[in-house]
């Protein structure tokens, strides 16, 4: 097995025992990028020079016998919505095509202190608005399991590079499912931590009350390691919560005896692909055989989650994206007659269709005479959705659902129908409204060979329970060990 196919914890042991060097590992990842990146198109920017410098620094630490952190010398990819000092950060938008941040996001500071190797910045839906990574201003990322299909979104690049072994781990962001859904469609592990668990400082904002950074990894153990590295209160982000950060690796216990798993009937309704439903039901049955108890529950306001999301998120986006005006930084049109004309033309040419659609939706929802009817009502429904989860967690420890209602669909299949595209997030938005932690783990495959994800949800700041259930499931199944054949004829 090539070095680029191994997990971070396997590689840490090899680095620590001096069986390999971080430079060898980094070169192995870039070799893999050379082989498959032209087909997958997961990266917008590669940082090979920086990566090799970081790998050399890690190797010196290992050679000196220093007590090196678990992610030291490990190649990691970063979603292009997270600010990286001195490295272009575009949000996959033309309006930020020339933006080079003068500072690092807090999560990047944490990763640098761990001694990670930054491979590059990954492709995404523009400003994280989308479910397929088809809204990037630069390229469409392809799913490594079938190059004719989408990888999910908005963090499609971050999911695809881990699936394709062109990164060992990656960071993404999740507003309404943008980590969990692409993780499911690309057959990797993806986690959205509790809102407030991780600093959003340096995460370019889409919807500030929903956005959260999280990891993509090849297995649950790696997910715990990355989360250990990036969590914590940050004075630069007033929404980050001052709660103790446990060592999540202590929760990696192969035991679900006595845990209660709730299965919401609303998530197994019309619109769910039959084969996806079968694989998820099989996964829940496996957990039951391993000692968990399973009961049906109801989350009655689930049906309103998508409508609520597509009022709240665009409203917040409308405010957040007002700063891109061509005055201070980023793209500015050359065709201008006066200031107002410059604003209009810069934003018209700088933003893509989906971003403009959501800005208009959000501006309308916040406009005079409509704010009460739309935005305020959506916030009230959001409270009802959270109350459903609160009531459910009085009876169960974990909630298990499909992550996505369907496997990956064909590129171009839903671009003409925004409503069909928005329904991709029907399984993930409810937990985002409630600020809950959620993890998606591979749980099987449909007949076409595309992967299916099992979503596990827990109470706020109960990530340990998710790690325990997800780890137990992976210790007793092999779905996560399968690798895509990128050179297959499907592409």
Between CA 130 and CA 147 the distance in angstroms is 19
Q: Report whether the peptide linkage leading into residue 392 is cis, meaning its omega lies within 30 degrees of zero.
A: no
CA-based nearest residue to 81, from 91, 72, 71: 91
Report the residue count for the chain: 491
According to DSSP, the β-strands at 438-445 and 451-457 are: antiparallel
Q: Using a CB cutoff of 8 Å and minimum separation of 24, what contacts does 325-328 make?
A: 326/350
Residues assigned a catalytic role? 79, 154, 178
Is residue 264 exposed (0-12), middle (13-18) or buried (19+ Cβ within 10 Å)? buried
């Amino acid at each position: 097995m090539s070095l680029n196919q191994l997990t971070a914890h396997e590689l840490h042991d090899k680095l620590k025992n001096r069986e390999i060097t971080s430079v060898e590992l980094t070169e192995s990842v870039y070799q893999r990028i050379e082989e498959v990146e032209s087909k997958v198109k997961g990266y917008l920017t590669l940082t090979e020079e920086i990566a090799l410098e970081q790998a050399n620094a890690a190797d010196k630490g290992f050679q000196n016998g220093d007590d090196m952190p678990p992610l030291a010398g490990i190649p990691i990819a970063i979603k292009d919505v997270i600010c990286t000092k001195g490295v272009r950060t575009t949000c996959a938008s033309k309006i930020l095509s020339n933006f080079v941040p003068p500072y690092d996001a807090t999560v990047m500071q944490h990763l640098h202190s761990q001694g990670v190797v930054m491979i590059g910045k990954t492709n995404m839906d523009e400003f994280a608005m989308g479910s397929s990574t088809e809204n990037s201003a630069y390229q469409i990322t392809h799913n490594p399991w079938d190059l004719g299909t989408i990888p999910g979104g908005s963090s499609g690049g971050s999911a695809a590079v881990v699936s394709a072994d062109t990164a060992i781990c990656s960071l993404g962001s999740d507003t309404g499912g943008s980590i969990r859904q692409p993780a499911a469609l690309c057959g990797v592990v993806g986690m959205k931590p509790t809102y407030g668990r991780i600093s959003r400082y340096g995460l370019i904002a889409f919807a500030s009350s929903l956005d959260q950074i999280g990891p993509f990894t090849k297995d649950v153990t790696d997910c715990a390691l990355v989360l250990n590295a990036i969590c914590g209160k940050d004075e630069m982000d007033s929404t980050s919560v001052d709660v103790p950060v446990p060592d999540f690796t202590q929760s990696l216990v192969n035991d679900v005896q006595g845990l209660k798993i709730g299965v919401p009937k609303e998530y197994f309704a019309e619109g769910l692909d039959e084969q996806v439903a079968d694989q998820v039901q099989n996964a829940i049955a496996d957990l039951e055989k391993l000692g968990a108890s399973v009961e049906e529950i109801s989350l009655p306001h689930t049906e309103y989650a998508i409508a609520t999301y597509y009022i709240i998120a665009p409203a917040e986006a409308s405010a957040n994206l007002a700063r891109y005006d061509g005055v201070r930084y980023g793209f500015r049109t050359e065709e201008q007659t006066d200031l107002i004309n410059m604003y209009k033309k810069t934003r018209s040419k700088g933003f893509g269709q989906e971003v403009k659609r959501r800005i208009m939706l959000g501006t309308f929802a916040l406009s005079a005479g409509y704010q009460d009817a739309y935005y305020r009502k959506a916030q009230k429904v959001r409270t009802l959705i959270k109350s459903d989860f609160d009531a459910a967690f009085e009876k169960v420890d974990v909630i298990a659902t499909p992550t996505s209602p369907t496997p990956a669909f064909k590129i171009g299949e839903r671009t003409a129908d925004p409503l069909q595209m928005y329904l991709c997030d029907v399984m993930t938005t409810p937990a985002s409204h409630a600020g809950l932690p959620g993890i998606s783990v591979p749980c099987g495959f449909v007949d076409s060979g595309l992967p299916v994800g099992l979503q596990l949800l827990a109470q706020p700041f109960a990530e340990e329970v998710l790690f325990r259930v997800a780890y137990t499931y992976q210790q007793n199944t092999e779905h996560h060990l399968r690798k895509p054949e990128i050179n297959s004829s499907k592409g």
